[in-house]
Amino acid sequence: MRINEKKVASFIIAILILSILAIIILSVSMAWFFFKSPPKTGGISENVLKSSMKGMMGYASPDDIPIRTPHDRTPLSFNEKDGVKEFRLSAEPIRWEYANGYYVTAWGFNGQVPGPEIRVSEGDRVRIIFTNNLPKATAVHWHGVNVPNGMDGVPGVTQEAVKPNETFVYEFTAEPKGTRYYHAHGSSHMDEAQQLDMGLYGAFIIEPSNFSEKLHQNGKYDKEFTLLLDEWEIMPDGTNAAMLPGMHSMDHNVFTINGRAFPDTEPLNVAEGDKVLVRIINAGSSTAHPMHLHGHSFKIVAVDGNPVQAGAQIVRDTLPVSPGERYDIEITAGNPGTWIFHCHELHHADGGMIIPFMYEGYDNISRPPSQKVPGLGHEMHGG
């Protein structure tokens, strides 16, 4: 059989045309993929965002999530029942105002970041009725409190995780005295960091049972403050990167003290001559913060809540605080002015980890405008 040369030629031309078309289509789609304008979530697809919004927050749209600000903070009181101090705690999906007009999708104990302070005396019998209003399972760990094993709040080890809409009752004796805290411990050992990064933590202060050892009450300190440190990765649209799959990065851009970024941190207001106790708790999941106070030295009076004997109290002006650590420091207010107390990892200070130490009559701080995500320059929408 004779080969039809004309046919072969047409075949080759057809192949060539098809190849050229394929190359054009491929190039155009690659160019579109690489050069299309990034979505406001910094490269996360709308579908991933939608499923994270539903899966982590329980809402279809961020606009439906309740907004909570520092004005919504409610101190947590207890009911005394049969000699037991009974507290009610819940975990809630919220949009937390971390600086004036700027919001992050978060989880908050009782709808607050940090969660409300729990304050009891050493030896108190404490019952915490915890309800999980999140779409994910979780549990509460009492950090530094010597609870019985079954009350330790570690899912898969000491208890079943508390499922959405379920309630778990923690009960234990509050000991030892000192600066303790509580935080989520995940639904399993795979998501502890994620749940902490969503904002689930709060101070748990155990006062001495002996009145003469109490702080405010016997006049040992004139002022007392508790500072909870935390770091966040917040997308330009206010999405907490911790809620996105595979996004547990170290790319933090917002650093908060008591849930707020400078210049909107709540100042430490003192008067000249005050003896001031500051409890520092690093509640973040991953980053140490060398905290530096301008214009003063301070004395470390407790480490991880445990008192340091007078002869061993070190005097410093910069104190590194690792995740999970607590330091109680004593400051004598003898140098009037408005001073800053800030993280000396200066990227963290830039991202908001600064709090004014402000003397009466010196409220003359010149505040820059509120910032959200440093360096990105995106406007974030609030409610």
Q: Which residues bind Cu ion (CB under 5 A)?
A: 289, 343, 345, 348
Query: Closest CB to Cu ion among 200 and 319?
Result: 319
CB 129, min distance to Cu ion, A: 35
* CA–CA dist 357, 257 (Å, integer): 13
Query: Closest CB to Cu ion among 65 and 373?
Result: 373
Q: Do residues 291 and 280 lie in contact, with contact meaning Cβ atoms separated by under 8 Å?
A: yes
- Give residues with Cβ within 8 angstroms of 281, minimum separation 6: 179, 181, 203, 226, 227, 228, 229, 325, 326
How many Cβ atoms from other residues are within 10 Å of residue 88's Cβ? 15
Query: Closest CB to Cu ion among 279 and 348?
Result: 348
**Strand (E) or helix (H) holding 16:** helix 5-35
- Give residues with Cβ within 8 angstroms of 74, minimum separation 6: 110, 112, 116
Query: Closest CB to Cu ion among 136 and 289?
Result: 289
Query: Closest CB to Cu ion among 250 and 312?
Result: 250
- Give residues with Cβ within 8 angstroms of 380, minimum separation 6: 101, 102, 103, 236, 237, 238, 372, 373
Burial 230-254 (b: 16+ CB within 10 A, else e): bbbbbbbbbbbbbbbeebbeeebbb
CB 121, min distance to Cu ion, A: 32
Query: Closest CB to Cu ion among 89 and 343?
Result: 343
CB 232, min distance to Cu ion, A: 12
* CA–CA dist 273, 327 (Å, integer): 22
CB 90, min distance to Cu ion, A: 30
CB 122, min distance to Cu ion, A: 31
Query: Closest CB to Cu ion among 119 and 252?
Result: 252
CB 289, min distance to Cu ion, A: 3
CB 290, min distance to Cu ion, A: 7
* CA–CA dist 20, 60 (Å, integer): 44
Query: Closest CB to Cu ion among 39 and 290?
Result: 290
What is the DSSP code string of 127-177?
A: EEEEEE-SSS-B-EEEET----GGGS--BTTTB--B-TT-EEEEEEE--S-
- Could you tell me which of 105, 99, 379 has the C-alpha nearest to residue 255? 99
- Could you tell me which of 276, 312, 311 has the C-alpha nearest to residue 293? 276
CB 353, min distance to Cu ion, A: 5
**Gyration radius (Cα) of the chain, Å:** 26
Query: Closest CB to Cu ion among 93 and 351?
Result: 351
Task: Please tell me what DSSP assigns to residue 253.
Answer: -
CB 325, min distance to Cu ion, A: 13
Query: Closest CB to Cu ion among 267 and 323?
Result: 323
What are the phi and psi torsion angles at 194 (to 5°)? -60, -45
CB 348, min distance to Cu ion, A: 3
* CA–CA dist 173, 256 (Å, integer): 31
